[in-house]
Chain A
């Protein structure tokens, strides 16, 4: 468990200062994803698959469902061939939990039943469209780095989606005023 740090806004030293800057974090994730491909690509494709929340969740869930119910849901070749599927998503939950606990940022936040339902449906909706696109925004970034033009089109579409979302959100906010 990481040691606890005093909670101030300035005093971040060494590695924590780097870990708090999204610029370095983005660079690190990109290079780590390339290292993962360097190590593991022999186990099976696809390429530029080092980190993806949507696809890796799909692999873990589908392999688990296949094992429990004997179904044959499709997963990526790397998760099909390996002894266990890609565990990145599980790792993210563990790493973020250790970090949140270590820096005393763990807070239980609850919501209304309606917000839970909204998030549940949002997750289903999000996953379906992300998988049609062939990845979440993170894998799109890796694919752009790998030289994929369609992934670039996908990110432009995400920007359009974000602009539509902002428009809807501001319109709703104005109506409430």
Chain B
């Protein structure tokens, strides 16, 4: 399966930083105006029955589905994996540690999800909200973002290897 977008490979490798930077500026502006927050949506709903942010997150899922579906019709070669579960069953889209079993991915999703949700409530916002608050001048959020940068290196250098080894020892991978 070779995925091909509108831009050729030679153009795309140059366009990646430019297009993603523009995307980021738009999302940053929208996020600052709306206070968009994924974990905040669930928190507000369960604590106060506020649905404003929760609808935002559900709209994100819907928007992604509509976008992928519409562009799949217009330009199929860029979206060959869509609709993923019909082609690949339970295997997730790549991104988590590679070459594990379905059970291991589900275990990682459950452990990771609980930890992420818990941390989001305790810190008071999902990572996008933290980035936006950093840009609004919140120094606590700046330390969260620095922590994310440190965490990325720590994860790649040590923790991902340990995690996979642990899963293998438990007979899941």
* A166→B43 contact, CB < 8 A: yes
Bound Cα distance from A142 to B84, whole angstroms: 12
| Bound Cα distance from A97 to B131, whole angstroms | 10
Q: In whole Å, how far is A172's beta carbon from the nearest beta carbon of chain B?
A: 10
Query: Could you mark each residue 54-93 of chain B with 1 if its beta carbon is under 8 Å from any beta carbon of chain A, else 0?
Result: 0111111111111110110001001101111110011111
Chain A contacts with B in 42-84, Cβ cutoff 8 A: 42-43, 45-58, 61-62, 65, 73-74, 76, 78-79, 81-84
Is B157's CB within 8 Å of the partner chain A?
yes
- Asked if A100 and B118 make an inter-chain contact with CB atoms under 8 angstroms apart, the answer reads no
Q: Within the assembled complex, what's the spacing in Å between the Cα atoms of A12 and B91?
A: 45
Contact A162 B95 (CB under 8 A): no
Partner of B127, one of A54, A158, A159: A54
Fill in one digit per residue for B134-173: 1 if any A CB lies within 8 Å of its CB, else 0. 1111111101111111111111110110010000000000
> Could you tell me if B17 and A82 are in contact, using CB atoms closer than 8 angstroms?
yes
Interface size for B (C-beta < 8 A) is 126
Q: What total count of A-B pairs have CB within 8 Å?
A: 533
Q: How large is the interface on A (under 10, 10 to 19, 20 to 34, 35 or more residues)?
A: 35 or more
Q: Are B36 and A22 in contact (CB under 8 A)?
A: yes
Take A35-B71, A37-B78 as given contacts and tell me if A82 and B13 are in contact as well, using a CB distance cutoff of 8 Å.
yes
Residues of A within 8 Å of B91, CB to CB, are 150
Residue among A52, A81, A129 making CB contact with B119, cutoff 8 Å: A129
Chain A: minimal CB distance from B133 (Å) = 8
Please determine whether B12 and A39 come into contact, CB atoms closer than 8 angstroms: yes
Query: Which residues of B are at the interface with A, using a C-beta cutoff of 8 A?
Result: 3-9, 11-17, 19-36, 38-39, 41-43, 46-47, 52-53, 55-68, 70-71, 75, 78-79, 81-86, 89-97, 102, 105-106, 108-123, 126-128, 130-132, 134-141, 143-157, 159-160, 163
Can you spell out 25 A-B residue pairs with CB atoms less than 8 angstroms apart?
A22-B55, A25-B31, A26-B55, A31-B63, A33-B64, A34-B68, A37-B68, A41-B5, A42-B11, A54-B148, A58-B156, A65-B153, A73-B156, A91-B24, A92-B24, A92-B135, A94-B21, A100-B135, A119-B141, A123-B143, A127-B147, A132-B155, A148-B93, A157-B113, A162-B39
